[in-house]
Amino acid sequence: MFEKILIANRGEVALRIHRACREMGIKTVAVHSEADANAMHVRLADEAVCIGPARSSESYLNKTAIISAAIITGADAIHPGFGFLSENADFAEMVEEHGITFIGPKPEQIRMMGDKLKAREAAISSGLPVIPGSPALENIDIAKDWAKKIGYPVIIKAKAGGGGKGMKVAFSETEIETAYTMARAEAKASFTSDEVYMEKYLQKPRHIEIQILADTYGNVVHLGERDCSIQRKNQKVIEETPSPALNQQQRNEIGEIARSAVEKIGYSSAGTLEFLYENGKFYFLEMNTRLQVEHPITEAVTGIDIVREQIRIANGAKLGYSQSDITFNGCAIECRINAEDPVTFAPNPGKITEWHAPGGLGVRVDSEIYSGYSIPPFYDSMIAKLIVSGKNRNAALMRLHRTLEEFVIDGIKTTIPLHQKIISQPEYIDGVYDIHWLEDMLDR
């Protein structure tokens, strides 16, 4: 097994990876910006290396600095977490070239799935259902022609997109030119490439994703689905498993379709296939070749430590179990707690004056926040994840109500009141929501 792993990330995911490493007897190296010198993962790691100023481009996205830190500290492997360089094929390649193991899929697999059009082609060839769509759109005239073929409404997407950026909807021909222009401009600003393509726009879908684990020997299992439909501006807010929208037959069917597709692709490591689900049909959206923010709810119902499995697979181990060995117990729900105004969603970094995390049976809080810690204003505003589980959805919901009431974070504004409002709505309680439901609720 690896003796020392460098964690190329920050925040709660860096602490999450550190914990998995410690339980496996592996030493850790934390890298951090000047702004994160007092972060909990830095304080707990065996070694820590400052890799640059607060700006991500000069620290957490600085490939050379991170690899240099790994070489200096003698790290065997690098775990990228999620965000930052986690799906950067060039970084994965650089890591391998320096004789260090990248804990994730091979660079060519990251590259293929990071290109949305190549990922779409791979999905089709491996038997995944896809949304009607176009090739790359070189100009507005081609875009108009494809919109007529596909039928309005359509959505223009960045070829190298992710996180909801570079996506614009056109409901009619009068809107297509504006949508095309804006999508290209946003794609260029976010991903340095202004290449876009088009898909049919589904108006009331749910967002369902399947967690996959695959080793380097061709063994692949799925760990069930997660429903990530509670979103605002294409950003997930609450996730749950199992999805209240699916019956057991649908659940088994899409799980096996995803598992089989990953097997055909020859993928290895943890990965997630995302789908839109509408009117009883699934449509492949994209594949994330990394750890997902919402992975803890899958761990809660399966008992499988996904980070530990990532590390084992990267070290050449076999999964050691087959699909028939996977069992699913109860329901789990995750709330992403952000340092934001719960009404305006304006970021609200600052000093934490009081911190009390809820506890009890079936409760998990992933966060590196502590009393007296100052949240820096330079990064994503998510500061904690509250994960609850119960024997069924009702039990999990009752536990979630209790834990949100118990959660104390003073000194800053957080989105805890928003979560309390969401889970009190009749539609959420009944499980009858789609990806637009939250924004519609907020507009009432």
Amino acid letter, 408:
V
Examine the residue annotation and report whether 290 is marked as an active-site residue of this protein. Answer: yes
Longest dimension (CA), the chain: 61
CB burial string 217-228: b at 16+ within 10 A, e below: eebbbbbbbbbb
The answer to whether 53 touches 47, Cβ cutoff 8 Å, is: no
Question: How deeply is 117 buried, as exposed, middle or buried, from its count of CB atoms within 10 A (0-12, 13-18, 19+)?
Answer: middle
Q: Does the bond joining 242 to the residue before it have cis omega, within 30 degrees of 0? A: yes
**Rg of the Cα atoms in the chain:** 21
How far apart, in whole angstroms, are the C-alpha atoms of residue 337 and residue 375? Answer: 13
Candidate list 251, 259, 290, 364, residue with the active-site label: 290
| Residue 346 burial (CB count, 10 A) | 9
- CA count, 13 A, side-chain hemisphere, 232: 18
CB burial string 390-417: b at 16+ within 10 A, e below: beebeebbebbeebbeebebebbbbbbe
The answer to whether 271 touches 289, Cβ cutoff 8 Å, is: yes
The answer to whether 118 touches 328, Cβ cutoff 8 Å, is: no
Question: How deeply is 121 buried, as exposed, middle or buried, from its count of CB atoms within 10 A (0-12, 13-18, 19+)?
Answer: middle
Q: How many residues does the chain have?
A: 444
Active site residues: 290
